Amino acid sequence: MSTLPVIAAVDGSDDSLRALDWALTAARMRGAPLRAVHVRQYAPWAQPDVLIAGPPDPADDPVLDQVRTYVSRQAAPPATEYAALEGAPGAVLPELGSAAQLLVLGSRGRGGFVGLLLGSNGMAAARDAECPVVVVPRPGREVPDAPPAAPGPRVVAGLHTDSPDDAALAFAFAEAALRDARVQVVAAYPWPVLTWAVPGDFAPATLEQDAVEGETRRLAEGFLAPHRARRTDVPVDLYVPPGDAAGHLVAASNGAELVVVGRHRRRLLAPARMMGSVTQAVLLHAASPVAVVPPGSAGPG
């Protein structure tokens, strides 16, 4: 069986070159081929006033020419192929996930509005692709100080104890093993806990914070146990803070190799693919690359 490629979406922007760098490293770690894809939305051959018989050869694509030169200058680059596709990137890129083990793109491309933290193509790919999607941010994002962590490389994983995502945890452990890193699991719990009192009013629940934290930790340890057993070589740090999960994950992204979050499962009354508010917030604000893992996705390699 052939190894599925790591796909890097490129468009000639600095953001896509950063994504290409990340994809090159990921392909080398996995022993996988790299596929650089340029989706051309506004193709000259498709315009009615341009008389060209069919699309041009990918060899004539200036963006892919730039990428070929860049890859050729790398030390021990993986086997790389190049593809030029036509269409709307937000529709074409997610479709590539069915034939990839990983799809990597920059937080923004050449299009979109100045000041956007995440382009529409990145959001569409993270929401719709069948494989894990890694979005590489621009450097210099300011985030809160990271929580205390053991020295060395780490992969951060979000864990929601009410609806744990085994695919995201498996991906985080596998990625940490590839990087000789530890997994820092963030299992935040809501505090203060509010209960419904009368219509339109909420009152603090009569719960002890230590009890809520202890129960969250107990549940998290149970969900982590099978992953620890399978990946005995990966150290694990469990962080159980009160409050907003997205804020804690963004803070933990400071200095991390990667932040791993899950994507919502399809539900009976909401069959369309969705991303939760925590995943969206992490994509928008994390300082490190973010991997969005669909339910049931296999780990790296």
CATH classification of the domain holding 194: 3.40.50.12370
Same-domain check for residues 197 and 249: yes
**In 196-287, which ranges are continuous DSSP H helix?**
209-230, 245-252, 277-285
For the residues 25-47, what does the mean pLDDT come to?
83
Model pLDDT, residue 9: 94
Whether residue 192 has a cis bond before it, omega within 30° of 0: yes
Question: In terms of domains, do 180 and 207 share one?
Answer: yes
Residue 272 CB neighbours (<10 A): 9
Model confidence at 149, pLDDT cuts 50, 70, 90, reads confident
Q: Band the pLDDT of 42: cuts 50, 70, 90.
A: low
Say yes or no: 289 and 158 in one domain: yes
pLDDT classification of 238: cutoffs 50, 70, 90: very high
Q: Which percentage of the chain shows pLDDT scores above 70?
A: 79
Record the pTM: 0.85
What's the pLDDT score for residue 84?
93
Report how many domains make up the chain. 2
User: Given 85, 110, 136, which residue is the final one in a domain?
Assistant: 136
Check whether residue 85 and residue 209 sit in a common domain. no
Q: Is 116 a residue whose pLDDT tops 90?
A: no
One domain for residues 175 and 120 = no
Q: What pLDDT is stored for residue 193 in this prediction? A: 66
State pLDDT tens for residues 172-224: 999 999 999 999 999 999 877 655 555 555 555 557 889 999 999 999 999 99
pLDDT band at 58 (very low <50, low <70, confident <90, very high): low
- 167 and 122, same structural domain? no
Amino acid at 159: L
Q: Grade residue 115 by pLDDT with cuts at 50, 70 and 90.
A: very low
Looking at the structure, tell me whether residues 200 and 111 fall in a common domain: no
Lowest mean pLDDT among 57-61, 66-70, 266-270: 266-270
| Residue 123 in this model has a pLDDT that exceeds 80 | yes
List Cα–Cα distances, 297 to 170, 262, 291, in angstroms: 9, 10, 12
Better-scored residue on pLDDT, 116 or 120: 120
DSSP symbol at 238: E
Token pair belonging to 253: 């992204």
Are residues 182 and 176 in contact, defined by beta-carbon separation less than 8 angstroms?
yes
The pLDDT confidence band at residue 23, using thresholds 50, 70 and 90, is: very high
Higher pLDDT, 43 or 243: 243
- 10 shares its domain with 131: yes
Write down the mean pLDDT value for the chain. Answer: 84
Q: Give the amino acid at 300.
A: P
Same domain, 206 and 271: yes
How far separated are the first and last CA of the chain, in Å rounded? 12
Average pLDDT over residues 243-255: 94
Compute the distance between CA of residue 143 and CA of residue 246 in angstroms, rounded to an integer.
12
pLDDT attached to residue 232? 95
Residues ≥6 apart with Cβ < 8 Å to 281:
246, 247, 250
Q: By three-state DSSP, how is residue 276 classified? A: coil
In a domain, 1, yes or no: no
Residue 167 belongs to what domain range? 154-293
Q: Which pLDDT band, with edges at 50, 70 and 90, does 256 fall under?
A: very high
